[in-house]
Structure 1
Amino acid sequence: MLDLIPLAIFDASQFFQWFVENANYLFVFLFMVVESSFIPFPSEVVVPPAAYLACTNTGAGSDMNIFMVVCFATLGALVGAFINYYIALWIGRPVVYAFADSRFGHMLMINRQKVDKAEAYFDKHGAISTFIGRLIPAIRQLISIPAGLSRMNIGQFAIFTGLGALVWNGILAALGYWLSTTVSPDQLFEKVEEYNKYLTWFGYGIALVCLIFILWNAFKPKHKESL
């Protein structure tokens, strides 16, 4: 939620107002890089207002196009995801393996073989996990970390991360478009905050469906092969 952003970082409503007054493609790209990296930052204060301004032809973003907003937002999300991927690959991966080889790791029943097995699992199922993870609140930024730890194929990572980000940014842009037909600029932040709650529950719903699907496949009875 927008009101969960730490005030020590910034006041969400003040940033929202600043962004509305200064919106452009570069800022859409840069803030989506931040949103998709390890820094907690909500895409809801970037894409919907940018799409709103593009559709209403008002304010700083009056010369923007809603489709280009989605493109720049998706490109920024992909760059931010690569930051997490390579941090996990270059820093996190050696730490994980050092822990797996340590005496303390062995005491916790963690060893290199189990880490390799976890990597193999993510290598097999990581593509769809990366795509779906981009649609789930609080997971969007983190899903790039196991991808980096497991050395997920960089081409697959880019494709499925980009597709997931494109879908999510398309949803946010659609919200901005719809609000451009129903609310005035001074009501925009309040309405984005309100509808973001529904988007959050939508993301949790996706996570629940995925969890049920995984559990079903894990525990469903296996049919015996006919003789």
Structure 2
Amino acid sequence: MDGSLASLGGWVVTIISSAGYLGVAGLMAIESACLPLPSEIIMPFAGYLVSTGRFNLVFAATAGAVGCNVGSTVAYFIGAHGGRPLAERWGRYVLLRREHLDRADRFFHRFGGPAVLIARVLPVVRTFIALPAGIARMPQVPFQFYTFVGSWPWCYALAYVGYVLGKRWNTDPRLQAIMHRFDFVVIGLLAIGVAWFVWRQLRGTHRACDLER
């Protein structure tokens, strides 16, 4: 599993390093289109490139937010034209469970249009909120506005973390010592967390298939 994490991280690094801001936007679009690619990997590396002088922090956050709009628009139209049945039928292939849709549905119906804004800083819900917005045929202008305004601070915060760590990496020997000392612990915890997440998703998918039978 740690090899898989390293491969995923390496792929993200390669895309951003070669495509720049466009790579950041493209990767964030994938995440916002309900695919399991965590922004917690994407944006901190973009922030690291800010610390090297290659990126600008505001531009990196803006590229990430634009990507969120692009991916969310795809998910919106899936919801608008295919509805929930389409999401439930094909979502299992990207580890999307009915519980995720239920949570996003409840959140959207509770808060209405502003849910798209609020959800951008909430785990799980932020990834799937565009689907119920599309099913409800929320008007495009407020949908795009709320998506961008809600996504930008999230992208900025993650990029800023990467920027700060990048600046300190080469100037503070203590940080390097701490990271080298605990890197295996961090990788192990991430591996356990990802394995638990995938196991839960697959278990839920198999259970849903058994119920359908």
Superposition TM-score tier, normalisation by shorter sequence = 0.5 to 0.7
1:116-166 deviation line (CA, Å, top 9, x unaligned): xx89x9578322211111111222110111111111121111111111111
TM-score of the superposed pair, with normalisation by structure 2 = 0.63
Q: Any idea what SS the aligned residue of 2:29 has?
A: helix
Match 2:166 to one of 174, 180, 185: 180
Could you tell me which residue of structure 2 aligns to residue 39 of structure 1? 35
Could you tell me which residue of structure 2 aligns to residue 56 of structure 1? 52
Structure of larger gyration radius: 1
For 1:46 and 1:56, locate their aligned partners in 2 and report how far apart those are by CA, in whole Å.
16
Gaps of 5+ in 1: 97-117, 198-227
The size of the alignment, in residue pairs, is: 162
Match 2:8 to one of 12, 37, 44: 12
Could you tell me which residue of structure 2 aligns to residue 221 of structure 1? none
Indicate if the aligned counterparts of 2:117 and 2:149 stay in contact, CA closer than 8 A. yes
Q: CA deviation at 1:11?
A: 2.6
Larger RCO (CA under 8 A, 6+ residues apart): 2
Could you tell me which residue of structure 2 aligns to residue 25 of structure 1? 21
Could you tell me which residue of structure 2 aligns to residue 85 of structure 1? 76
Asked if 1:160 is matched to 2:146, the reply is yes
1:165-185 deviation line (CA, Å, top 9, x unaligned): 11110111211221122224x
Q: CA deviation at 1:73?
A: 0.8
CA-based RMSD of the aligned residues comes to 3.5
Alpha-carbon spacing, 1:20–1:81, altered in 2? closer, same or farther (3 Å): closer
Which of the two has greater helix per residue? 2
Q: CA deviation at 1:75?
A: 0.4
Asked if 1:70 is matched to 2:70, the reply is no
Alpha-carbon spacing, 1:94–1:74, altered in 2? closer, same or farther (3 Å): same
For 2:123 and 2:109, locate their aligned partners in 1 and report how far apart those are by CA, in whole Å.
23
Q: Any idea what SS the aligned residue of 1:141 has?
A: helix
Gaps of 5+ in 2: 88-104, 171-175, 191-213
Indicate if the aligned counterparts of 2:108 and 2:116 stay in contact, CA closer than 8 A. no
Indicate if the aligned counterparts of 1:123 and 1:150 stay in contact, CA closer than 8 A. no
Identical pairs, percent: 29
Alpha-carbon spacing, 1:157–1:176, altered in 2? closer, same or farther (3 Å): same
Could you tell me which residue of structure 1 aligns to residue 197 of structure 2? none
2:79 counterpart letter in structure 1: A
1:44-83 deviation line (CA, Å, top 9, x unaligned): 22211112112222xxxx2x21211111111011110000
Could you tell me which residue of structure 2 aligns to residue 146 of structure 1? 132
Deviation larger for 80-89 or 39-48: 39-48
For 1:95 and 1:43, locate their aligned partners in 2 and report how far apart those are by CA, in whole Å.
25
For 2:127 and 2:164, locate their aligned partners in 1 and report how far apart those are by CA, in whole Å.
26
